[in-house]
Amino acid sequence: MLGIVISSLIAKVTSFLDLCLAVVSQMMTLYRTTIAVGIDRMILIAQYIKSQCVALKLSIEPCLAQLTNQVPLMKLGLMNVLHSLGQVGQQLLTTVRQILQRVLNLLKRGN
């Protein structure tokens, strides 16, 4: 009778051990799959971020080139404006001096 109980216990322990090994095997497969999927997702995210950075760089470069071309033109325009203002200022000074001379001449004539 003891032999039957022991063999029954051994059978139950063996089946329980087999069940535990099967569950552990399933969990290992699940973990590997989850980790692999997670790594694949992280790679895809990194590639997406990289492509967005490249697209941003490619869209900034023409703007930078255009601004680089516009700066000398703006400087040239500013120089032309300053030159014109200088000429207008000189004309105004000349006109003011002429008016003052005429006023002084008229005042001298009047005396």
Q: Say what the alpha-carbon torsion angle 94, 99, 100, 101 is, to the nearest 10 degrees.
A: 90
Mean pLDDT, the chain, rounded, equals: 87
| For residue 27, pLDDT beyond 70 | yes
15 Rama sector, left if φ>0, alpha if ψ -120 to 50, beta otherwise: alpha
Q: What is the pTM of this model?
A: 0.45
User: Strand locations in 11-96, DSSP E?
Assistant: none
pLDDT of residue 39: 87
Chain segment 66-96, per-residue pLDDT in tens: 888 888 889 988 898 888 888 888 888 888 8
CA distance 13 to 10: 5
- Confidence band, pLDDT 50/70/90 cuts, at residue 111: low
The secondary structure element, H or E, covering residue 95 is: helix 2-110
91-97-102-106 Cα dihedral, nearest 10 degrees = 160
What is the per-residue DSSP string for 2-14? HHHHHHHHHHHHH
**107 vs 59: CA distance, rounded Å:** 71
